[in-house]
Structure 1
Amino acid sequence: MSLIPWDQPATLIDLDGSAPVIGTIRDCAMHFAIFKPFAKAQARILLTKPVHREGRKTRTWILEPNEIEALVERLHSEA
């Protein structure tokens, strides 16, 4: 996955229909980090700019839970 800037606007959604978190990638990653495992499995981030994913021909607008977890790890390593 391409490196996404922390200040890029994004929306954290879940498949259960809870209210979304609208903010930056950093905001979304911080919220995701405090979710319980069930909520993490249901979470997705909707991007404002698509990113390239390894193994795919086209760019994508949605990040899956494992990709969001990678953002959380990046956030912790940069702190």
Structure 2
Amino acid sequence: MMAEAVLAAIPWDQAATMIDLEGRTPIIGTIRDCAMHFALYKPHARSNARVLLTRPVFREGRQTRTWILEPEEIEQLTQRMRREAN
């Protein structure tokens, strides 16, 4: 899992694509768009969601940067969005 500080550094307006491992139509928008949609998903859909980044991010324990956010990381973005809204 990615450190929260790395996720906090991803700007809300960065282009991203939410993909679904079951083949549903991708959501092309911003990181904020992806987090907002993820917040509405049911648990099964959340477990199949991934966000494809347009700029890779550093992931601790790996030598290379990564292009994909896992469901736990998307959930952290959703929590960040809620905190910033209050």
- Identify the TM-score tier after normalising by the shorter chain: over 0.9
Higher helix residue share: 2
The CA RMSD over aligned residues, in Å, is: 0.7
- Which residue of the partner structure matches residue 41 of structure 2? 35
What is the TM-score normalised by the length of structure 2? 0.89
How much has 1:57 moved relative to structure 2?
1.4
Q: Residue by residue, what CA displacement relative to the aligned partner does 1:22-63 show, whole Å, maximum 9, x if unpaired?
A: 000000000000000000000000000000112211100000
* Equivalent position of 2:65 in the other structure: 59
- The alignment covers a number of residue pairs equal to 79
Structure 2: 5+ residue runs without aligned partners? Answer: none
TM-score (norm 1): 0.96
Percent identity for Structure 1 against Structure 2: 68
Q: How is 1:1-79 mapped onto 2 (pairs within 5 angstroms)?
A: 1=2, 2=6, 3-79=9-85
Q: Which runs of 4+ in 1 moved over 6 A?
A: none
